[in-house]
Structure 1
Amino acid sequence: MRLGRFIHRRGQCRVALCVLALAVTPAMAQPASMVDGSQQELRQRERERALRSQQEAAPNVRLQRPVQAGDERLPEHESPCFRIDRILLEGDAAERFQWAVKAANPANDRATGRCLGSEGISLTMKRVQNAIVARGYVTTRVLAPSQDLTQGTLTLAVIPGRVRRIRFSEGRGRRGTKWNAVPARPGDILNVRDIEQALENFQRVPTVDADIQITPAEGPDAKPGDSDLVIKWKQDFPFRITLSADDAGSKYTGKCQGSVTLSYDNWWTLNDLFYVNLNHDLGRGYGDGKGTRGYTVHYEVPYDYWLLGFTISGYNYRQSVAGGNWTYVFSGSSENSELRLSRLFYRDAVRKASAYVAAWSRNSRNYIDDTEIEVQRRRMAGWAVGLAHREFIGAATLDADVAYRRGTGMLSARAAPEEAFGEGTSRSAVITAQGQLNIPIAVSKQRFRYLVAWRAQWNRTSLVPQDRFQIGGRYTVRGFDGETTLLGERGWLVRNELGWTFGNTGQELYLGVDYSQVRGPSTQELVGTHLAGAVIGLRGAYKRLYWDAFAGRPISKPDGFQTASTTAGFNISWTY
């Protein structure tokens, strides 16, 4: 009995000494064989980011290409002609289209202040009509009624195209719902932007195929300019399952990772999206002293130009570390949640912009054997606001967004231990920005693609390690194995990729070069602040199978930064 108590007390002392060592040892100075809880959390956050970008990819519907400004000029010498000094737009809802009159007077060929005949008046009317159509009012018409032009005033009449009825076509499924998907209502002036948004709301659910046709209104109650919107809607089997595997994990907790994602599309017949993702290391089992496991649950539902989404996720890891005559089990857990409300506030034929507000929370704990490392416990919560923009530049697509994230004392958030030293706070303030430019290139019947993506972070307060900018690995700077990373309060990265799609095989060979830097007070403890790497890979798809295999190596790194000289990896998934 005494011997047992002696061993138990010695075990308590060992754990206490390890906890004390972790409390005073910076993350980057820990032994290579020791897992850093913050690094594990950041790694899992990158995996979740990749999962969400795949599962929550929003469709882009463009029914109308930009209306090109015509190069027609007003005739110089028409006969007969009338001097026009003023142009008026009248008719039902004419006050909503007064801005279109400006199109009649381009700077180099103004319609007012000159003599116009029948051809000049027709061209002036056409300019106003094109301006209205360019903003999406494709069924609104502009006419020139009979009038006396001797007074110098040209009056144009607008006939607004209105929505008379919105209905599903015959044969649509029972699960189709339009009230929260179509922004237009009967009696509204028809705008193709509302139809594009409706199709995006329908097609946000991957198993749904939808189309909307504009048909002339018929019947005794039909008025000039009235149209019906007829929705063709079809949904396949609403359940989807995706199995995936990759080697993006850490060698200390399980290099190979597997996951299963179950999706239920249009669950509540609200054009809603729901999925559950479960991930696990593909090793000997989580309870064997080494491994990872986690989950992500997401639900979102649209309403007109609004989108409400909720996400919760959790993650656990374990690692056994031999130390002398004893083996320690390091473990940790984290839980995250976010409630986000976004609204698309502008769209036209070539761009769209949205804003969002979110509330978030994050909790994490780390242990040695069964003893919690109190100085690494986190309970944070706060809010975030952001803007997102998409621009179509010819065949290229530009995406950009910026966000401000703030920690508060909500949801019983606790102060960070680093606050006593000014090295971090749970009331963090961070500005983030990211974007990408995707340019398709055709050269002699060969299809190429150039993609440049960037990401940056600026801190307004000191940050705990979980809030810092991390680089090194397949999700940031490729060519590095990700076992060792650089963290800083501020940082930026640029990823360049050139892809070549050969034939109709669905295969793309790509080359990538990435560069990144970190800055901030904590970087003074690092061996360096920059990384550059290169990668070559092959990605493709066949039916329901998708794969990506690559190999890379560092181009530039600080002296003393430990990483493999060559890194290879894969990602494979199957969806049914």
Structure 2
Amino acid sequence: MQPQFVLLVNLAAAFSLLGASAQAQNQAEFAAQQLQRQQQREKALSDKAEEQRPDVRLPRAPAADAGAYPANEQPCFPIRHIALNGDGAAQFAWALKAADGAIGLCLGSAGINAILAKVQNALVGAGYVTTRVLAAPQDLTTGHLALLLVPGRVRAVRFAAPADESGPSWRNAVPARPGDILNLRDIEQALENLKRVPTAEADIEIVPGEQPGESDLLIKWRQSRPVRLSLSADDSGSASTGKYQGGATVSLDNLLGWHELFYFSANRDLPVGDARGEHGTRNYALHYSMPAGYWLYALNASRYRYYQSIAGANQNYIYSGTSANVELKVARVVYRDAARKTTAALRLYQRRSNNYIDDTEVEVQRRQMSGLEFSLAHKEFAGDAILEGTLAYKRGMRFFGTLPAPEEEFNDGTSRPALVNLDVSLTLPFKLRATQLQYQASLRGQASNSLLIPQDRFAIGGRYTVRGFDGEASLSAERGWLLRNELAWAAGAAGQLYVGLDYGRVSGPHAALLAGDSLMGGAIGWRGQLAGVQLDIFSGRPIRKPEHFRSARHSAGFSLNYQY
């Protein structure tokens, strides 16, 4: 009897394990949703951090009144050609276009002064505020007008007291070097690098040097403290792994004196209710970034884990998943003027994910991917309005141990996708009578001809995409777009009410398996500060959805953050 009993026990265990394995296969979609949710959360936090980065636009110097070229001036000389001479004149030949209207005119002293004013205004408008243009006495009967360029150069870069003795380095923050021609764009970039540390305040004063045309850049810099602590809580999690999430972030600012940012964050589910221990999440993230003039270098790493208890035939099993991401990003401001800025970036990434039943890995769900992403970001200022957008091309590559995706066996996905992402936003403040309002629109899109695995698909439905849905289910496919609209108005001294209307649509091969292809939802909320706590509370509901798409009739949420 004993051998038979052992055999029965083994068979029962085998059937239980098979049942759990089959259930684990059904959990693959759940695992993908968890990773998508985490990716959306990380993107929202990244976008919020990006919004807090300073944009410095120094006020334009008042332009000299060039006026129109005088008519019938006496005496006058026909102007057939204008040349720019002097140290570094070749690189400023473009400024002469401002005086193209003078060619062919007969001008005297007033007309020559108008030419000088127009060329000078062109230089100042381009940021060369200490460079001067002069006209020496010359024979104009030849029709040739020669202008003399006197470049304004940087003599020295230095800190004002007391930072001159114990302050940080200016060399990786200020693009300009002694001897360079002074330009406001270099000063704006320097101030952005100096102020990117939230605990630092900075200003740069242009001080006349000892010689004509020379100036010193005097940096006034002060840092309140090098350490910050931030505590947060929200209800952005899923019911399956923990609705309520809490986190803490420790930031170390400018520790090495290179204007670098370093932070470590830890987040987890908050044990609320009767389901303690049956499910949960853990997330850890690390960030380091350092500027170098117009360059920015950044390293990000994160690790995420979730788990939940699943009822088996004879016992409960713990189904869990982990993901790890590492990325290195290099960005450079390739163009900036008084009203716009363009940045190019290259990102190298690797990500891994594994799923487990108890302590046994479900190997068919193992993923390891790596790739490159090239992006162009542009920011445009038009009065009080701000328009910004990012266009990115991402390509999966076969390096750093990349594994074929499990879906490749069935030609249903790839670990080397090629896809394009677009992100555009418009912020438009305006007044309606005495009420201050702000309209904000955000357009996101993705296009790909590849069959994508779930984590790479474009997903909609939830607080980070189409509001009004609880986020427990989503629509995702290879291609898609969404538009978020929001109108906000001041409510008290430190808060604002807002209403939002969002719409999204997905398409592609995997869209055929969905309950539908579009969602529309709305939300109303309040965001602001109470007793030092940043708070956002909202309520929303679906407006239009597929018939069999699962979502609550109403969804409410909150997020709060306290920083010290």
Normalising by the residue count of structure 2, what TM-score does the alignment of the two structures yield?
Answer: 0.95
Aligned-partner Cα distance in 1 for 2:189–2:111 = 37
Aligned-partner Cα distance in 2 for 1:480–1:411 = 38
Aligned-partner Cα distance in 2 for 1:9–1:139 = 87
Aligned-partner Cα distance in 1 for 2:495–2:106 = 62
Measure how far apart 1:47 and its partner are: 1.3
Which position in structure 2 is the counterpart of 1:511?
Answer: 499
Query: Where do residues 552-571 of structure 1 align in structure 2 (5 Å cutoff)?
Result: 552-571=540-559
Q: Is 1:422 aligned to residue 374 of structure 2?
A: no
- CA deviation string 1:200-255 (max 9, x = no partner): 1111111110100001113xxx2x21101000010111100000000000011110
Residue number among 460, 484, 491 corresponding to 2:449 in the alignment: 460
* Letter paired with 1:570: F
Secondary structure of 1:364's match? strand
Measure how far apart 1:186 and its partner are: 0.5
Answer whether contact 2:61 2:124 (CA < 8 A) is retained.
no
* Letter paired with 2:39: R
Measure how far apart 1:329 and its partner are: 2.0
Which position in structure 1 is the counterpart of 2:173?
Answer: 181
* Letter paired with 1:488: A
Residue number among 515, 521, 524 corresponding to 1:533 in the alignment: 521
Residue number among 309, 314, 320 corresponding to 2:298 in the alignment: 309
Measure how far apart 1:194 and its partner are: 0.4
After superposing the two structures, state which structure 1 stretch, 280-289 or 197-206, moved more.
Answer: 280-289
Which position in structure 1 is the counterpart of 2:264?
Answer: 276
* Letter paired with 2:190: A
Secondary structure of 1:423's match? coil
Answer whether contact 1:399 1:436 (CA < 8 A) is retained.
yes
Aligned-partner Cα distance in 2 for 1:572–1:373 = 37
Which position in structure 1 is the counterpart of 2:104?
Answer: 113
Aligned-partner Cα distance in 1 for 2:114–2:13 = 91
- CA deviation string 1:7-30 (max 9, x = no partner): 565344323233235547883xxx
Which position in structure 2 is the counterpart of 1:235?
Answer: 223
* Letter paired with 1:206: P
Answer whether contact 2:16 2:312 (CA < 8 A) is retained.
no
Residue number among 208, 221, 225 corresponding to 1:216 in the alignment: 208
Answer whether contact 2:320 2:356 (CA < 8 A) is retained.
yes
Measure how far apart 1:267 and its partner are: 1.9
Which position in structure 2 is the counterpart of 1:171?
Answer: 162
Measure how far apart 1:70 and its partner are: 6.9
Query: Where do residues 128-527 of structure 1 align in structure 2 (5 Å cutoff)?
Result: 128-172=119-163, 174-218=166-210, 222=211, 224-283=212-271, 288-323=277-312, 325-503=314-492, 505-527=493-515
Measure how far apart 1:358 and its partner are: 1.4
* Letter paired with 1:45: Q
Answer whether contact 2:280 2:306 (CA < 8 A) is retained.
yes
Answer whether contact 2:463 2:470 (CA < 8 A) is retained.
yes
- CA deviation string 1:137-176 (max 9, x = no partner): 0100111111111111111111100000110001127242
* Letter paired with 1:140: T
Which position in structure 1 is the counterpart of 2:59?
Answer: 64
Which position in structure 2 is the counterpart of 1:79?
Answer: 74
Secondary structure of 1:397's match? strand
Aligned-partner Cα distance in 2 for 1:5–1:50 = 54
Which position in structure 2 is the counterpart of 1:30?
Answer: none
Extract unaligned runs of 5+ from structure 2.
none
Identity of aligned residues (%): 48
Aligned-partner Cα distance in 2 for 1:37–1:25 = 6
Measure how far apart 1:4 and its partner are: 7.5
Answer whether contact 1:23 1:375 (CA < 8 A) is retained.
no
Secondary structure of 1:125's match? helix
Answer whether contact 1:478 1:552 (CA < 8 A) is retained.
yes
- CA deviation string 1:58-86 (max 9, x = no partner): 21000134978978321112111111111
Which position in structure 1 is the counterpart of 2:535?
Answer: 547
Count, aligned residues: 559
Answer whether contact 1:331 1:368 (CA < 8 A) is retained.
yes
Q: Cα–Cα, structure 1 residues 572 and 72, in superposed 2: closer, same or farther, change >3 Å? A: same
* Letter paired with 2:118: R
Answer whether contact 1:15 1:368 (CA < 8 A) is retained.
no
* Letter paired with 1:215: V
Q: Is 1:89 aligned to residue 81 of structure 2?
A: no
Q: Cα–Cα, structure 1 residues 99 and 246, in superposed 2: closer, same or farther, change >3 Å? A: same
Q: Cα–Cα, structure 1 residues 549 and 362, in superposed 2: closer, same or farther, change >3 Å? A: same
Q: Cα–Cα, structure 1 residues 199 and 12, in superposed 2: closer, same or farther, change >3 Å? A: farther
Normalising by the residue count of structure 1, what TM-score does the alignment of the two structures yield?
Answer: 0.93
Answer whether contact 1:246 1:570 (CA < 8 A) is retained.
yes
Aligned-partner Cα distance in 2 for 1:466–1:69 = 57
Q: Cα–Cα, structure 1 residues 68 and 489, in superposed 2: closer, same or farther, change >3 Å? A: farther
Q: Cα–Cα, structure 1 residues 537 and 320, in superposed 2: closer, same or farther, change >3 Å? A: same
Aligned-partner Cα distance in 2 for 1:22–1:314 = 22
Which position in structure 2 is the counterpart of 1:32?
Answer: none
Answer whether contact 2:66 2:117 (CA < 8 A) is retained.
no
* Letter paired with 1:536: I
Q: Is 1:16 aligned to residue 11 of structure 2?
A: no
Query: Where do residues 45-56 of structure 1 align in structure 2 (5 Å cutoff)?
Result: 45-56=39-50
After superposing the two structures, state which structure 1 stretch, 306-315 or 539-548, moved more.
Answer: 539-548
Aligned-partner Cα distance in 1 for 2:276–2:166 = 46
Measure how far apart 1:55 and its partner are: 3.6
Measure how far apart 1:189 and its partner are: 0.3
- CA deviation string 1:69-120 (max 9, x = no partner): 9783211121111111111111111111111001002xxxx10101112221
Q: Cα–Cα, structure 1 residues 543 and 351, in superposed 2: closer, same or farther, change >3 Å? A: farther
Aligned-partner Cα distance in 2 for 1:463–1:197 = 39
Aligned-partner Cα distance in 1 for 2:515–2:64 = 57
Aligned-partner Cα distance in 2 for 1:115–1:318 = 84
Aligned-partner Cα distance in 1 for 2:173–2:24 = 53
Answer whether contact 1:431 1:459 (CA < 8 A) is retained.
yes
Answer whether contact 1:440 1:448 (CA < 8 A) is retained.
yes
Measure how far apart 1:403 and its partner are: 0.8
User: Alignment RMSD, CA only?
Assistant: 2.0
Extract unaligned runs of 5+ from structure 1.
28-35
